[in-house]
Amino acid sequence: MATNKRVFTLRLDESIFDQMETLAREEHRSLTNLVEFAILRYLCEKRATAYDASEGRNSSKVYLQESGTIHSGD
């Protein structure tokens, strides 16, 4: 199966890795999926904040779609 995802190496403190591994198991996710989801949530929050500052709008209207794209509810 072809994918457009890029591969990279990530170095983490062992305690952080262990916590992420536990959380992934609890959420029935792969560790890779948990990391990708966490990054997407972070990007959504940051973009919502930037959207607020530049547009003077409510960040609650900016949300993460299942596809991983960030969308404005306006």
> Which DSSP state fits 61?
G
Q: How many domains does the chain have?
A: 1
Which residue bears the tokens 């990054």?
Answer: 39
Q: For residues 63 and 73, is the Cβ–Cβ distance under 8 A?
A: yes
In a domain, 41, yes or no: yes
In a domain, 55, yes or no: yes
Walk along the chain (74 residues) and give the pLDDT tens digit of each residue.
Answer: 667 888 999 999 999 999 999 999 999 999 999 999 999 888 888 877 766 656 655 545 555 565 555 555 55
In a domain, 8, yes or no: no
In a domain, 2, yes or no: no
- Residue 71 CA to residue 68 CA, distance in Å, equals 10
In a domain, 6, yes or no: no
Range of the domain at 66: 14-72
In a domain, 5, yes or no: no
- Residue 22 CA to residue 9 CA, distance in Å, equals 20
In a domain, 7, yes or no: no
